[in-house]
């Protein structure tokens, strides 16, 4: 903080401002410099220290984490195996929930159904619109009246009176994430993820039917004809309910029992 308030300071000046021993202060400054948090100007007679701008420091940490993650991924790709498909796994923190949701959306090949409150839906905007742009049919059940997503089919409803924010992601009928985050994303109330071949397609069909029900319910306010209602049901079913990979795989599985 001393360098934020007074950039271009010597180590001696920082030590005096903090009331710390000069040798210890220089050691700390050298450690901060090595970690990229502090810049050193040694072009003159005195060594002058300044704090790196906070945004630049954050971007530096993000780049470092990404680079470390890519290296670890390459090293471990031949060792790691996917969790058993029949498992149902608990997610325990907010970052884990969003990371899993984003990875699921990025893996979608055919269709994507997301039922979510405004905050989590907005946080996933980039991967959602990227999925739509590569040809995935995307159905969003948004709990608000005005959000828009490029290339996506949107069904609206209101946010229910529950604490925090709901987020459900269903990919190709074969994988699901169901979570509710505490208000302000302080922590995770509950969150589960699975690729269980029996459960996943059933949950997908359940949320698809829920979305279709909301669509038709809202249409009734406009006094549609029976033909318009039928056409909309047909459109949604053809785009999202016919031959989704999860249901097809489940039928094959059941026939083999």
Which residue has tokens 């995935």? 136
pLDDT at position 151: 94
pLDDT at position 100: 94
CA angle in degrees (0–180, nearest 5) for 204-207-208: 80
pLDDT at position 148: 92
- Greater confidence (168 vs 161) lies with 168
Please check whether the domain covering 88-255 is classified as CATH 3.30.70.260.
Answer: no
pLDDT at position 35: 81
Quick check: 244 and 204 in contact, CB under 8 A? yes
Which residue has tokens 């006094």? 223
% of the chain at pLDDT higher than 90: 42
pLDDT at position 84: 66
For the purposes of burial, counting CB atoms within 10 Å of the CB of 184, is it exposed (0-12), middle (13-18) or buried (19 or more)?
exposed
Start and end residues for every CATH 3.30.870.10 domain found in the chain: 88-255
Span 76-121, pLDDT tens digits: 666 656 666 778 899 989 999 999 999 999 999 999 999 999 999 9
Span 41-81, pLDDT tens digits: 777 777 888 877 878 778 877 877 877 777 777 776 666 56
CA distance 171 to 83: 17
Span 171-211, pLDDT tens digits: 999 999 999 999 889 999 999 999 998 899 999 999 999 99
Span 200-250, pLDDT tens digits: 999 999 999 999 999 988 888 778 888 999 998 999 988 888 777 888 888
pTM listed for this prediction: 0.71
H/E element, 113: strand 111-116
pLDDT at 252 over 70: yes
CA distance 155 to 142: 6
**Edge-to-edge strands of the sheet including 188-194?**
88-90, 188-194, 175-181, 165-171, 111-116, 137-142, 153-156
Residue 75: strand, helix, or coil:
helix
pLDDT at position 81: 61
Q: Quick one: average pLDDT of 138-164? A: 88
pLDDT at position 46: 79
pLDDT at position 107: 94
pLDDT at position 157: 84
pLDDT at position 155: 92
Start and end residues for every CATH 1.10.10.10 domain found in the chain: 2-52
Please check whether the domain covering 2-52 is classified as CATH 3.30.365.10.
Answer: no
């Amino acid at each position: 903080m001393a360098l934020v308030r007074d950039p271009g300071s010597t180590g001696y000046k920082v030590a005096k401002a903090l009331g710390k021993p000069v040798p210890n202060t220089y050691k700390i400054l050298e450690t901060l410099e090595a970690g990229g948090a502090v810049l050193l100007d040694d072009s003159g007679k005195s060594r002058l220290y300044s704090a790196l701008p906070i945004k630049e420091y954050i971007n530096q940490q993000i780049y470092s984490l990404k680079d470390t993650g890519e290296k670890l991924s390459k090293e471990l790709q031949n060792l790691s195996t996917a969790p058993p498909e029949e498992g149902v796994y608990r997610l325990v923190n907010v970052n884990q929930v969003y990371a899993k949701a984003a990875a699921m959306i990025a893996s979608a090949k055919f269709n994507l159904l997301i039922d979510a409150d405004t905050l989590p839906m907005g946080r996933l905007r980039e991967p959602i619109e990227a999925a739509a742009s590569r040809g995935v049919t995307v159905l969003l059940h948004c709990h608000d009246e005005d959000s828009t997503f490029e290339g996506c089919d949107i069904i609206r409803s209101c946010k229910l009176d529950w604490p925090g924010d709901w987020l459900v992601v269903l990919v190709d009928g074969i994988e699901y994430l169901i979570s509710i985050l505490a208000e302000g994303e302080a922590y995770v109330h509950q969150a589960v993820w699975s690729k269980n071949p029996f459960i996943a397609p059933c949950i997908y069909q359940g949320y698809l039917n829920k979305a279709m029900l909301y669509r038709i319910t809202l249409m009734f306010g406009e006094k549609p004809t029976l033909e318009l209602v039928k056409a909309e049901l047909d459109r949604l079913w053809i785009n999202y309910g016919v031959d989704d990979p999860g249901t097809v795989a489940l039928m094959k599985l059941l026939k083999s029992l």
